[in-house]
Structure formats: structure tokens, C-alpha cells
Structure 1
């Protein structure tokens, strides 16, 4: 009797889950998908133009058209479900694993080698209506890259990976791995933390353990020679963020970021609540990927293990 009850309960759960998935799919009608595909075609053209044109004024004009078109597309009911796959080369759409929001980011390169970043957070709504939190890149006015910021003074970056950190009865937060560009001499990458306090967006959190330091950092920023390729990725199997160790290629260049390169060793942050623990000398079984400096997501490091002592 108990087995029959459990079997019936199992079938009900499967049926309910299937219905929920079908209902979610029905929300995006063929007409809506067609409308969003047309918008996506225009968005792709505008986005590509911001990269290919050489004049900064023209580039900004295309970006303005892109922003207006994107907001118009996102106003389409239930657009949260549309992935905008054709924009993947230039624009990152990262959904939180619990599907409560997605963060959309992209960069605008300028002739002098600098970058400006754009972004917005789209919240999932029950009725499919639009709820956006625009992100304003205020990097030039942020004097301390360790400061806690919000959507109005965002430490801009193009994010390519999102990692949730959860704990029972605690508000979750999300670790973001991002590419930040910088100048003609150096590139930056960032480990950012995103959290929500009611309707307020918060960037940065005191969770990063620093070697031989009594206090934690709110975010981690790497700056290195522009010709250097740097790995910064998440290994799910090890539950660790792993990255190249950066060092000056000449000892007398200590503290000058344009002389910092990867020294063939790797460090990492082991993810735990309430903070991330710094680990030295972890090793990738796979070589660092040539994709690490591309805008798309770098290849994942599949296996981490402590370095052997020789």
C-alpha cells in the first residue's frame, strides 16, 4: 500500500513539474519570439558597429541606439526567457541559478585604449513585466577599488561567470568573474560580489581572505601587462576560483602593473560561508586556455590539486 502511494506521489510530482515547464514555455508565444528575433537582428548590427567603427563619436551613437533598442526588446512581456544568443560575442547575459534575475553587461572600447562598461540587471517578474536596475560605470570616480558600491557607482566590468553562495537562513550572494580592460598598457580582471538588500543592489562584500592580512577585502582586482593572458575561472569540482599568480618579470619593477605577467603558477579562493579562503600554489591539470583573454567565457579548469614538493 505504501509503495503504491509513493509511486502515485512520484507520478504527480513528475506531472506537476512537466506542467510547470510547459506553462513557462507557453509564456513566450511564437509571435513574441518572432518579435524578439527581429529586435535581436538590429541589436547585433548596432553592437557589432560599436566594435568596428574607428570614430569614438560614431561608436557612442551606435551604443545609444543599442541601449534604446535593448530596452525596447526587454519591455516585451516575458523577455526574461529569451536568451539573445546572437549577441554572445559582444554582450554577456548571465542568469542567476535560481532564475530570479540576470545581469547584462558589455564594454565600449575607445581610441585611446580605455573602456567604458554598460550594464543592467533584469529581475524576473511573475507577470512578465519589465523590472530593470541600470548600472552606471563610475570607475573614474572610484578612488578605492575596495569600496562597497551600488548600481549608481558601479565598478564596471563585463562579467562572464556567476557563482551563487548560499547558506541556510542567510541571504545569498553572487560572485561575478569579469573582464575590465583598462588601457594601452594594462588589462584588468575582477572578482566581484553582488548581493541584494530588499530592492537595493550592493557590489562588494568583505569575504576575501588576504594572505598575512587581518582584514578581508571586498573585491579582488587583477592588473597586468596587456600582452599577457590571464586565467580567472571557477572550478565546480573543487569549488574554487582559480587564477594565474601575477608577478613582475623584473624584480625592480615591483608595484608597476604594466610589468606584471603570469608566472606559470596558480592561486585560488576556496568558496565557503561566510568568507572565501585564499589558497596558494594550486595547479591546473589542463593548460591555461588561449581563450582566457577573449570576451567569451574561458574554458573551465577541470581538476585542481596541491603542487607536489620537490
Structure 2
């Protein structure tokens, strides 16, 4: 995953050839391993699941287009890191952990594995953000961090769903959320019902909280963003795992009510969108002349550098979102 960190430190005008080669190599590896990975559910189900997660990734990437400072290859590499590295580490850590907890499988399924998986899915995000936070003049946006989480979570989810023969796309399962996240499916069991947002939604939420807390540390209440979003994502993840076992009915139902049956994550993402809007208001000033391809679809290197410099000044040079009248 070293190439992920190198992407953020590359000069703005230099093409990321190493990143493109890395993406091509990962795609080739995926094609080679696909027959084995999709044995449980078949290739058709995998394609359907790719469409479901891809739909959300495209919508999020376009919606955040006015504040993105990272390139598409960086997001693709993060997705492959979630698919191969994060999931592989989850298997490597999860199997011996569950073996140790064989007498207490609920503890492993409901508490340990959600924590392990969410941490591992955030590793590619932390790697890229770590390089960015070392700089003062050029910084990432909250939307960048959020999108990295979305791509990593989607990669992880695709591998897990393919391996266990599940997943798919349903635009009418839980409207209006399913129109944006068709991979989010309701779970109905004897223990209760829960809207399973899935790895994409949970990691996106944690990454959003991490971005707000780390990039805008000078804000009065921004330190709360990460613990709140992590608690909601981990809670929903744990409940979804718990609903596979009716013996944990009471705690699951209590948490179910507190987390609004799985809708709390969506509400927090909408609230977090305020930060993305404020960042857009900031960097919408002093825009470069329009390019042949709209900058919100495919921002040029110069435009991305301009955004990063303004964000660096705003995040480090002044109080978070406090208008001082100063100029970058």
C-alpha cells in the first residue's frame, strides 16, 4: 500500500504512472482470482454486487467533485487495497481470533470482528491521510477522506460478499437510502429487523468523522466527530452480526432503537455533508478558467493544487470555518 501514500506527495503536474501501473496490476490479479473468489455465489451475483457498490461510488465521487484533491487512480488503488489487503488481513487475524473464542462465538462475531474489520478497512485511508497531514501548505478535503473510506469499504465488501455468496443490488429495498446505496439491504430474523448499511456505508462514516476531527482540529467540537461516527458505525455493524443469533435479542433490540434501526449512519452522513458544503464555499473562490472537461468531473492538476493550497491555509492557518477576512 506504499504507492497510496506516494500519490499524495507527487508534484501536481506529474502523471501518476506508478499508480496507473499499480491499478492495472491489481485489476489483472482480480481477473485471475475471480473464478476462485466467486465460487460460492457465481459470477453473475458478483457483477450485480459490483454494480450496486459502483453506483454509490460514482454518485459520491461526482457529488464531492468540487472539493476533491485526489486523483481517480488513488481512489481505485484504495478500493483494491480494501479488496485484497484489508480483507486478507481480516481473514489472517479473524480465524485465529475466532478459534480462541470458540466457547464465546457471540463475543467474536458481535464485538471483536466488527472492531477488527473497521480498523483494517481504515488502514488505506490512514496511509494516505498520514502523508497529507505532514504537509502544511497543501491538504486534503474532508470529502477526500470520506471517499477513500467509501472505496476501501466497497472493496472489502465485494470480496466478502463474493466469498460467502451474498450481496446484490436492489434500488427499492429501503427507499430513499437504497436509491443512493443499493447495496444496503434490510435483515429480517427472529431476533428483529435491521437495515444493514454494509461495509461501504460504515467505513465512509468513520472516514468522514476522521476527516473532520483530524483536518479541523482547531474547531470547538470537531473532536467529537470521530468517536461519534465510529460508535454508530461499529454499533450498526455489531447489531447486524448479532441478528444472526436470536440469543442476543435484548441488547440488540436496545441498540436497534438507539441507532434508529440502521438509519443513524445515513443521518450522520447527511449532517457531515455540511462540512463538504463549507469547503466548497471556501475553494469556489478564485477558480481557474473552465476546462474542456468540467472540473467537478475530472479536476486538472492545477485545479487540484489550487484546492489543496486553499485547504491548507484554511485548516492550518485559521480557525476552522471562522471567517477572518484573510486571503490565501
TM-score, reference length from structure 2: 0.27
The answer to which structure has the higher strand fraction is 1
Q: Kindly indicate whether structure 1 or structure 2 has the higher relative contact order, using CA contacts under 8 Å at least 6 residues apart.
A: 2
Larger Rg: 1
What's the TM-score once normalised by structure 1's chain length? 0.28
